[in-house]
Amino acid sequence: MEKRQLITRSTTVITIFLILIFASSYIYSYVEGWSYFDSLYFTVVTVTTIGYGDIVPKTVIGKTFTMFFPFIGVALAFYLFSLVGKYVLRQNFEEKIRERLGIDSPKKLRK
């Protein structure tokens, strides 16, 4: 995967992830009657699979939403982490090759 593709894909996934987090927080706030901060807290704790259990949905709609929302949120979070990992590994790999070949500029390496 080219660096430009990786950055474009990462930007897209980050945008979708943030939309999911804030939209889900709004849904929880509306459905459960929680403050927006509590909803955001619950959403982040759920997506990161921490799950403290100090705030839990009480309504049927909130519980139903919670049964499906984490699948999408956790999958996106792991995909995002994998993209970041790919980027970091690629940077380290290119740096090591440049060191071994004695090349200063990344542009010389790609030719």
Q: What is the pLDDT of residue 31?
A: 97
Find where tokens 């009480």 sit.
Answer: 58
Q: At what angle do helices 3-32 and 36-47 cross, to 10 degrees?
A: 130
* Over residues 17-40, mean pLDDT: 96
Distance separating alpha carbons of residues 73 and 31, to the nearest angstrom:
19
Contacts by residues 66-74 (CB-CB < 8 Å, ≥ 24 positions apart) = 69/24, 70/46, 72/20, 73/17, 73/20, 73/21, 73/24, 73/43, 73/46, 73/47, 74/47, 74/49
Tell which wins on pLDDT, 63 or 111: 63
Going by the DSSP 8-state scheme, the letter that residue 54 receives in this structure is S
Find where tokens 């590994």 sit.
Answer: 89
Cα 30 versus chain centre, distance: 24
Q: What is the pLDDT of residue 105?
A: 61
pLDDT digits 0-9 by tens, 64-97? 999 999 999 999 989 988 888 887 787 777 777 8
Distance separating alpha carbons of residues 68 and 88, to the nearest angstrom:
31
Domains recognised in the chain with CATH numbers: 3-83 (1.10.287.70)
